[in-house]
Structure 1
């Protein structure tokens, strides 16, 4: 848990689950795994068990104690929809998010089909509340099926994280998508992102009227290459139904 986050598109992180397993090429150089494994075997450290999947019920109500509205990235160190996370535990996470409705929660998964199944069962008759944003992550054109899963998920605010972008994004159908984040990979084995790939994603967002956020070029460190694309920073955010919930530092964009 962190009440403040260095991630450019959020304010805080909340990790009721930690640890994960790899499912596609975008996971190859996972920053969360690299960080967690540094502490494997350290007694009483939060990551004493490295990147093994761990449920953290003691963290379940943390957002309820944060009285100032925040944008909260859910499970920055895991994937809420990992197949080994019980639906009952996921339900508790959603109950907390529903109760803490003065925050905006950003739920991001690579397991988009499992998210769709859970959400469409839980919210059979109405969409997920608009302060809970649901997103999926893809790394190149080969994972665009995740977009379709997201589009078929009963939510009001859907977003894409195209990070790390390690190949051409291909043609993107952004219907029902309210926000797109793009970023390059960081770390000692970072794979470079091509300018044409970043431009392709941005131009398709512009053409389809979807807010675009360019997080980083990446490199050995996250900020190695800066954040400018074609001479400017792209810091667009989706318009939310209750804009007073958005922290002051966020930039509101239409879409």
Structure 2
């Protein structure tokens, strides 16, 4: 929960929150739920937040983790809350403000904020009072100086939604495109079926309005995960190529072509690891 990760499309993880609840089909075999339950023994960081039966529904900001990025000098691409959701409905606005305050105070990093809850993210990001609240949170975290949010939306925060199937893509992506963000992306991971990313509407050239700037995809992990069909991955690859959108293939999950572990991250024998500039 510092900079030791196994997520290829990020260089670090930062988990200032603990706890979550299931939201959609992507949550059926949630690794975060399982990992939290594994660490729920007395005194463990997951105690009270999950158990073998699942999430408890309790979600909290962890002060001991909140300011970690302030001590990371080398610029990194940071996945925010790999074990929770910044925009969970149970979080109060003040907690979200503190997370954004840290991201504003450490502008050397790029922060990847991925949510399954764009209905919460959109009003937060669009609220004209949000930058002022974040500035006050910055003052509280680093007292002794008056802080201002340099720009809004924060230029070093990339906002994404999970799009595991067409139903969620159709619900979440339009909301994402209505939400102020420096860069917008989707994580089609776990990829549970073939997706149409609507070239010309969601995928389109730079400078043509709100668009998906990046597509990350991968199969479902875990023994009970859905097998990812290669044609689902190829469809995303080809749509992104047609729209000149960076495409990152993360891993196959249960389905490994040719049965070779070395091919875990290859699509038709080729790695796809494009990241926006």
TM-score, length basis structure 1: 0.87
Aligned: 1:142 with 2:167: yes
Contact 1:72 1:106 in 2 (8 A): yes
Contact 1:123 1:154 in 2 (8 A): no
Aligned to 1:253: none
- Alpha-carbon deviations, 1:46-96, whole Å to 9, x = none? 112234423212322111011121111100000111100111110111011
Once residues 34 and 42 of structure 2 are traced to their aligned partners in structure 1, the CA distance between those partners, rounded to angstroms, is 18
11-20 vs 169-178, which moves further: 169-178
**Of 149, 155, 158, the match for 1:133:** 158
Q: Which aligned runs of 4 or more in structure 1 are off by greater than 3 angstroms?
A: none
The structure that has the greater radius of gyration is: 2
Contact 1:116 1:154 in 2 (8 A): yes
Gapped regions of structure 2 (runs ≥ 5): 133-150, 205-210
Change in 2 beyond 3 A, CA 1:157/1:171: closer
Aligned to 1:169: 195
Aligned: 1:31 with 2:66: no
Once residues 19 and 188 of structure 1 are traced to their aligned partners in structure 2, the CA distance between those partners, rounded to angstroms, is 23
SS at match of 1:159: strand
Once residues 211 and 27 of structure 1 are traced to their aligned partners in structure 2, the CA distance between those partners, rounded to angstroms, is 26
Aligned to 2:243: 208
Change in 2 beyond 3 A, CA 1:45/1:220: farther
Contact 1:112 1:136 in 2 (8 A): yes
SS at match of 2:102: helix
Aligned: 1:98 with 2:123: no
Aligned to 1:244: none
TM-score, length basis structure 2: 0.81
Where does 1:34-113 land on structure 2 (aligned, <5 Å)? 34-40=34-40, 42-49=41-48, 50=50, 51-52=55-56, 53-113=59-119
Once residues 183 and 62 of structure 2 are traced to their aligned partners in structure 1, the CA distance between those partners, rounded to angstroms, is 26
Contact 2:191 2:218 in 1 (8 A): yes
Aligned to 1:246: none
Deviation at 1:220, TM superposition (A): 8.5
174-183 vs 75-84, which moves further: 174-183
Change in 2 beyond 3 A, CA 1:46/1:109: same
Deviation at 1:123, TM superposition (A): 5.7
Contact 1:190 1:219 in 2 (8 A): yes
Aligned: 1:156 with 2:182: yes
Once residues 97 and 153 of structure 2 are traced to their aligned partners in structure 1, the CA distance between those partners, rounded to angstroms, is 13
| Number of residue-to-residue matches in the alignment | 237
Q: Which has the higher helix share?
A: 2
Contact 1:188 1:220 in 2 (8 A): no
Aligned to 2:275: 237
